[in-house]
């Protein structure tokens, strides 16, 4: 069967599943894979309508730009301590392999073994463990877009990761071996250690021009949690020859994040400090992101996210900000509980409306202009914009 026909069939299947609201989960069991073997399918779609000078090209006559952020379908596999996950995005390119070793349509593709809370092993295409906000799922965001600080994360990478979760205080949460962030509240310590191919899905790392410029990326993260009230994490990583040539510099990332959920409210803080963006000596940046949300009713949530960045390049410093002012409407929610775990379950049908205020040196901010950087990942607005999104998830 031709690849184009396979893609059409897969796309049709994804469309059918993502538009059938009666589906909550699809489970499969196989008699030869163990009595407890289970495969669970899941997915979500996000349809957008954007307005304003920041969202629409100045040469366009359009008043509204329609599109989609994510059209995804995936499955999780469990059999005893064996786990696996595949996650596809039908809004991504399928025609080219990257230095990661995978096509961009593939978001997650890994297998793992869950020894215990102290050790889980995963191998394949995985969310890298640098960047608190990045490891929050795309269907669980407080505002519509991941901000321009996501360009600084390593994004997903192909490699081997060792992890631990819920360590040291009684193991009060269920760890299933698929964790790539702080999915559930627990009490205790956690860690991730990863070796990967070059992290070229990052906006800050270019595809290599020569095979001899490829090298392994290394990264690690430590975490401490005290229930849903406090999550903290600190991570660091380096990706070699980030300019795609042997003489380019290594890209280095330091990230720190705090997430606190208190009743109807949630507060987050995140900090990045990065060196040698795209392997250029002296192209450095630091960012801070502060997010706050509050449920004014069981189904209406207010959200504010302020992202600020300071970029240094060729002896010039540019300071910018994108501030999201938002309201989220939860349609037919699964429950009216306000704890962090149940909020994740309330995201099946959600409408989000954001007004983005752009400020600072947006005309000289190179991240918004460099062709290899600006279109790759994350969102930066040089002018104000109005964003709307409808999300359906199962």
Q: What is the pLDDT of residues 130-146, one digit of tens each?
A: 999 999 999 999 999 99
CA distances from 374 to 148, 203, 377 (A): 9, 7, 7
Tokens 């001899």 locate to 212
Mark the ranges of the chain whose per-residue pLDDT is less than 50. 1-23
User: Using CA atoms, how far apart are residues 250 and 218, in angstroms rounded to an integer?
Assistant: 11
Segments making up each domain of the chain, as ranges:
25-393
Adjacent-strand bridge partners of 302: 294, 327
CATH number of 25-393: 2.40.160.10
Contact between residue 79 and residue 128 where contact means Cβ atoms under 8 Å apart? no
Over residues 234-279, the pLDDT tens digits come to: 999 999 998 888 889 999 999 999 999 999 999 999 999 999 999 9
| CA 357 and chain centroid, separation | 22
Smallest CA-to-CA distance from 154 within 99, 209, 223 is with 99
**Residue 373, SS3?**
helix
Which pLDDT score, from 0 to 100, does residue 18 have? Answer: 43
Half-sphere exposure of 310 (CA within 13 A, CB side): 6
Contact between residue 128 and residue 201 where contact means Cβ atoms under 8 Å apart? no
Contact between residue 356 and residue 340 where contact means Cβ atoms under 8 Å apart? no
| Residue 58 burial class via C-beta count within 10 angstroms: exposed 0-12, middle 13-18, buried 19 and up | exposed
User: Using CA atoms, how far apart are residues 203 and 20, in angstroms rounded to an integer?
Assistant: 35
Adjacent-strand bridge partners of 191: 164, 222
Contact between residue 394 and residue 75 where contact means Cβ atoms under 8 Å apart? no
Sign of CA dihedral 175, 129, 220, 196: positive
What is the token pair recorded at 332? 């037919």
| CA 172 and chain centroid, separation | 26
Contact between residue 274 and residue 310 where contact means Cβ atoms under 8 Å apart? no
Adjacent-strand bridge partners of 316: 313
């Amino acid at each position: 069967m031709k690849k184009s026909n396979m893609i059409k069939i897969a796309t049709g299947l994804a469309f059918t599943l993502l538009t059938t609201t009666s589906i909550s989960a699809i489970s499969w069991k196989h008699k030869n894979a163990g009595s407890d073997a289970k495969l669970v399918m899941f997915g979500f779609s996000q349809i957008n309508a954007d307005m304003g000078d920041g969202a629409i090209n100045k040469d366009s006559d359009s008043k509204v730009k329609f599109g989609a952020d994510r059209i995804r379908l995936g499955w999780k596999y469990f059999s005893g301590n064996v786990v696996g996950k595949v996650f596809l995005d039908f809004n991504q390119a399928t025609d080219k392999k990257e230095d990661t070793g995978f096509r961009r349509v593939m978001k997650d593709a890994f297998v793992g073994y869950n020894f215990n809370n102290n050790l889980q092993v995963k191998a394949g295409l995985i969310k890298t463990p640098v960047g608190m906000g990045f490891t929050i799922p795309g269907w669980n965001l407080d505002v519509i877009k991941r901000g321009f600080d996501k360009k600084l994360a390593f994004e997903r990478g192909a490699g081997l990761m060792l992890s631990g979760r819920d360590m040291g205080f009684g193991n009060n949460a269920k760890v299933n071996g698929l964790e790539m962030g702080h999915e559930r509240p627990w009490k205790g310590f956690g860690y991730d250690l990863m070796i990967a191919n070059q992290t070229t899905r990052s906006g800050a790392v270019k595809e290599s021009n020569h095979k001899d410029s490829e090298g392994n990326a290394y990264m690690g993260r430590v975490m401490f949690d005290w229930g849903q009230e406090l999550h903290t994490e600190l991570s660091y990583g380096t990706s070699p020859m980030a300019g795609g040539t042997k003489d380019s510099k290594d890209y280095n990332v330091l990230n720190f994040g705090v997430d606190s959920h208190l009743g109807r409210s949630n507060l987050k803080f995140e900090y990045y400090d990065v060196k040698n963006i795209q392997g250029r000596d002296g192209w450095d940046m630091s960012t801070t992101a502060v997010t706050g949300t509050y449920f004014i009713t069981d189904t209406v949530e207010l959200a504010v996210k302020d992202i600020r960045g300071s970029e240094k390049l060729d002896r010039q410093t540019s300071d910018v900000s994108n501030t999201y002012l938002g309201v989220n409407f939860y349609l037919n929610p699964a429950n009216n509980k306000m704890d962090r775990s149940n909020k994740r379950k309330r995201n099946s049908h959600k409408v989000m409306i954001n007004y983005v205020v752009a400020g600072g040196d947006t005309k000289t901010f190179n991240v918004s202009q460099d062709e290899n950087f600006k279109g790759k990942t994350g969102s930066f607005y040089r002018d104000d914009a109005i964003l709307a999104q409808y999300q359906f998830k199962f």
